[in-house]
Chains A and B, each alone.
Chain A
Amino acid sequence: MSSQTQERWSVEIAGMPHFDQAMDRIYAWFEGEIIDRPPVRFSAHNAFVEQQKGHLAGMNAEERKALWFDVEYQLDMFERSIEGRVWHGETFPVFSPNLGPDVYAAFYAGDLIFGEVTSWIAPALKDWDDMDALRLDMDNVYFRKIDELTMQALERCPGKYLVGYTDLHPGLDCCVGWRGPQQFCLDMYDSPENVHRLADLAISGFETVYDHYDDILKAHGQLSVNWMGIPTFGRMHVPSCDFSSLISPAMFEEFGLPILQREVKTMTHNIFHIDGKGVARHRDAILSVPEVHAIQWVQGMGHDLPIMQWVPLIKEIQARAPIIIDLNKAELDDFMEAMEPEGVFLWIATESEEEELELLDRIAKW
């Protein structure tokens, strides 16, 4: 379905009277067009999330897991973090049920270990002979917890925020979760046929899982949205492959690209998350997939800052697809000077509402 012909509806959100205009700007951005200014998403400092990190810091592994699994606690923390906020630009309050980036792998097998800000999975597939035992289990503890987080949030969200679906990584990153990154690198040389089988297994359940959450959210009048916070009325997804930063373009084309092609095919809006220069190495392959509608570029830390060194790369991508850029507000003027605004979606961290309004004024003149 063309994004222009999708059925649309409005959602009431306190502090966001311009919901419809914001959606119009997002849809124009997907088409490489601008209505009045490029879309902008602000990420504000969140004292409650810092407080949660503080709580988790003193806990042992079991206590941390209990807090990650505490539905009331998670929703209370989120709701306190958005209380009284006014949402400027294309910044939507979104609760995305979250047990970490390996939760999709854990829907099949493996135990999640919970840290302060993320979780990771203990590799579950030690022996290729055990691959046949890997099965999508929509009744396992992690799947049921994500369901519970989703349903509770849907009960509490009306008038206050959107509910998204959890972060799903069904490609090579899922395989890495099952095998561990170092072993999976060796597997690519030692046992390529098993790598293909494993990747096929990883992607096989994706549509079922995605449809499960999409059906629940749409039945409650929600949009399609996840951690990225860019809602659409269709089927929005954020494909990614952080593992690809470790491998050659030839290996990505052999093992990663076929999975990406399957991952994106039933979606109306795919925004590929390019996490750093290592993943950007594969941009030609990624952008060869027609269903990859946009790119999110995230530069790394350390030597990879500041943003201006990446302007040539950003321009190259911009010429081929809409692009999301996460930049520091101090970099904004230089960035706008160097770039044309078409196809750019800006993410900027801010400290106050006044600052957000001032930035919107500046960006409107771009």
Chain B
Amino acid sequence: MEELLDGLYTAVLNGDASGAVENVTAALNAGAAPEAILQESMIPAMMEVGRLFELGEAFVPEMLIAARAMQSGLQILRPHLIAADVEPVGKVVLGTVSGDMHDIGKNLVGMMLEGAGYATVDLGVNVSPQAFVDAVEKEGDVDLVCMSALLTTTMPQMRATIDAFKHAEIYDDVKIMVGGAPVTPEFAEAIGAHGSADDAGQAVKVAQRLTGLAA
């Protein structure tokens, strides 16, 4: 069994989607618990990709193929997780703010959060403050909202979105994380965000802290 889980870890880490599918299938057939496959193999592999990214030893293409391998494995695993009543560790709504069309950073954060066990609702790019509010109200059990902006000209939309959350009286119901090239912790604090992250690897750690999964 350990060999299969190691193989799955390596397949996700190396972005080998067919290898991930084969190993998930083989591990299930061998009687591995779905949660163990996820927690002991797939999530650690994505965390390692994030660590390598932070160290400058992996880059965006490597993160993308790893996330794709993770998704391929999850497609096989997900029905078994549901059958075993394994819940996501939290729910995240994410999007790029109004006026900003950049999506790759936001997509990477979404993939990494999924890789860490979160359920994600991706609102896409050019998301208005009201659309963020509507999504949180519609989903109902959102733990974390992630906003991305790549431009100094669109950063003010982060504040506008947080103001919309306050106006809708849902600001206290969720945690808010912001990120993107021009975003600093000082800016995040000034606009009322609960945290900020420099890259997708760090975003997972901040998300885990904000949602109470890590200190």
User: What A residues does B104 contact at CB under 8 A?
Assistant: 181-182, 185, 246
Contact A186 B184 (CB under 8 A): no
User: What B residues does A306 contact at CB under 8 A?
Assistant: none
Minimum CB distance partner of A301 in chain B: B182
User: What A residues does B182 contact at CB under 8 A?
Assistant: 300-302
Query: In the complex, how many angstroms separate the beta carbon of A101 from the nearest chain B beta carbon?
Result: 13
Query: In the complex, how many angstroms separate the beta carbon of B50 from the nearest chain A beta carbon?
Result: 16
Cβ-based interface call for B29 (8 A): no
Cβ-based interface call for B22 (8 A): no
Contact B15 A182 (CB under 8 A): no
Cβ-based interface call for B61 (8 A): yes
- 15 A-B contact pairs sorted by A residue (CB < 8 Å): A113-B101, A120-B101, A181-B104, A182-B103, A186-B64, A186-B68, A189-B61, A189-B65, A246-B60, A246-B104, A281-B56, A300-B182, A301-B182, A302-B181, A303-B198
Minimum CB distance partner of B182 in chain A: A301
Cβ-based interface call for A188 (8 A): yes
CB proximity to A under 8 Å, residues B56-106? 56, 59-62, 64-65, 68, 99, 101, 103-104
User: What A residues does B152 contact at CB under 8 A?
Assistant: 301
Contact A185 B101 (CB under 8 A): no
Minimum CB distance partner of A246 in chain B: B60
CA distance A120 to B103 in the complex (A): 13
The interface bits of chain B over 150-176 (1 if a CB of A lies within 8 angstroms of the residue's CB, else 0) are 001100000000000000000000000
CB proximity to B under 8 Å, residues A134-191? 181-182, 185-186, 188-189
Cβ-based interface call for A248 (8 A): yes
Contact B59 A246 (CB under 8 A): yes
* With A117-B153, A189-B15, A301-B152 as contacts: A246 and B61 at CB distance below 8 Å: yes
Cβ-based interface call for A311 (8 A): no
* With A120-B101, A182-B104 as contacts: A302 and B184 at CB distance below 8 Å: yes
User: What B residues does A338 contact at CB under 8 A?
Assistant: none
CA distance A302 to B15 in the complex (A): 31
